[in-house]
Amino acid sequence: MLMGAFFSRRFNPDTDIPDLSGKVILVTGGNAGIGFAVIEQLVRHGAKVYMGARNPERARAAIERLRTSVGSDNGQVVWLDLDLSDPRKVQKAAEEVMQREERLDVLINNAALLLVPYAKDYDNVQNIVMTNYMGAYLLTRLLLPLLKRTAQEPNSDVRIVFVNSARHHSCPSDVRFRTLDDLNRDFEDTMFPQLLRYAMTKTMQLLFAKDLQRRLDAAALPRAILCLAVDPGEVNTEGVHAYTESVGPVLGPLYRAIAHLTFAAPATGALGPLFCAVSPVPRAEPLVYRGAYLDPPRSSGRAARWRRAGSSRGSCGIRRSASWGDRDRAASGVVLGRLGCGWCIPYGSV
């Protein structure tokens, strides 16, 4: 499970994505930004894609844009009413997928809040933790039976992808994931509380991905399920736009200009998630990519290089070892059942 040496591959979605006909894929946060660009390529190559989104009007508008750009002779896109900030709606969405489908080949956990003001939801959990980690955790756990059933089929290629961020390296070394107060930490005593809250959630997500891969490996499925996390790079998405609007009339235009000039377009940001989800390379080299965290390319160009992150540093500045111990298991849900959230399901074995 160690993050090995730097690993590079060229990837061009136009030529390197195989025919996805018959595949069923779920993408959260799919009506805009990276998620929309990911879905566009998946549908173009023949997949049936569930677009997880909470706003029906925006989802329908996104689907119409896809039909215009991709056409009707390729794959299919279906709106899934999914709000990761509400565990009840997450459960309902997962049940809908399992009732409608006999297979699920790929789950792409893409949806996330970025730099948002501190607020708690009605489960008394801060909103960014609920959306970025707990919602994705719960959705993944609920869909595991369908993913595992698909993995039993001959020639299956089941993957779980987490769109992560290099910002997880900013997570302070003193964070803990033992109590609800730990998860609700606001970091208001620091210079960059919004950034640190975001970094904490991405650390939690990454630790969950690593621990989930370990547990799936222990389950000894006939065809291994691959869990991968990927940093798409700095991407000029709607979340970035929303943040620039929130910082006021002086800094807002400056930040927007910086994002416009230096950040990648969503289509470029989609390359990493697409590589993790459907490139033949990870399946051909599972020992290399199982539980991997991938860095974005360091140079521009359509044929991007994706590499496995180096081993010198882990989340929160912790040096890597063969096992991350209690820290990742806590973030992965072992203690969530003790937090007073009645909807939490036991982690246990997969």
Q: Which residues are designated catalytic?
A: 198
Distance in angstroms (rounded) separating the CA atoms of residues 290 and 27? 20
Beta strands in the chain (DSSP E): 9-11, 24-28, 48-53, 76-81, 106-109, 159-163, 226-230, 293-295, 304-308
**8 Å CB contact between 211 and 328:** yes
Distance in angstroms (rounded) separating the CA atoms of residues 295 and 8? 9
C-alpha dihedral (64, 65, 71, 73), degrees to nearest 10:
-50
Cα atoms in the Cβ-side hemisphere of radius 13 Å centred on 88: 4
Q: Write phi, then psi, for 226 (nearest 5 degrees).
A: -95, 130
Please enumerate in sequence order all residues whose Cβ is within 8 A of that of 57, keeping only pairs 6 or more positions apart, or say none: none
Distance in angstroms (rounded) separating the CA atoms of residues 321 and 189? 31
List the one residue out of 202, 279, 201 whose CA is nearest residue 13. Answer: 279
Distance in angstroms (rounded) separating the CA atoms of residues 340 and 350? 23
Distance in angstroms (rounded) separating the CA atoms of residues 127 and 131? 6
Alpha helix stretches (DSSP H) within 152-192 = 180-183
